[in-house]
Structure 1
Amino acid sequence: MSFLGLRKWPTPVMKPMWPFMAAAGITFYLISVGQAKGIRSPEYRNDPKNPYAAQLAKESAQ
């Protein structure tokens, strides 16, 4: 018997969602690695639109 639509056992959430959560984690990691490599590439290192240009110039000066 249910009380206000609540069942005795909770609906499983983690078990059916683990592939999507794993894929989201892998995607997030790969995008962040790609971005880090992209901002440090020689083509965009000295681009004035690069928000990390000052930081990269300071690193290369050392």
Structure 2
Amino acid sequence: MKEIPIWEKSNLTLEEAAAYSGIGINKIRLLSDKEDCEFVLWVGTKRLIKRKKLDEYIERMYSI
């Protein structure tokens, strides 16, 4: 099975999002726990991170 590179995926696991962004898993988990988080997608109890929305969020932030 062919593996898709992280930068081409639309949704990432916490581990992939941490590797992609350089932000720690625990920090991403904390940010995505918020009710108004725009870059989290819940699939049942599984948490996925919307890569493009995460990029937009990081661009707007001065510090996390």
Q: Please indicate the TM-score interval, normalised by the length of the shorter structure.
A: under 0.3
Ranked by relative contact order (alpha carbons within 8 Å, sequence separation 6 or more), the top structure is 2
Larger strand fraction of residues:
2
TM-score (norm: length of structure 2): 0.25
Q: TM-score w.r.t. structure 1 length?
A: 0.26
Larger Cα-atom Rg? 1
Structure with a larger share of its residues in helix: 1
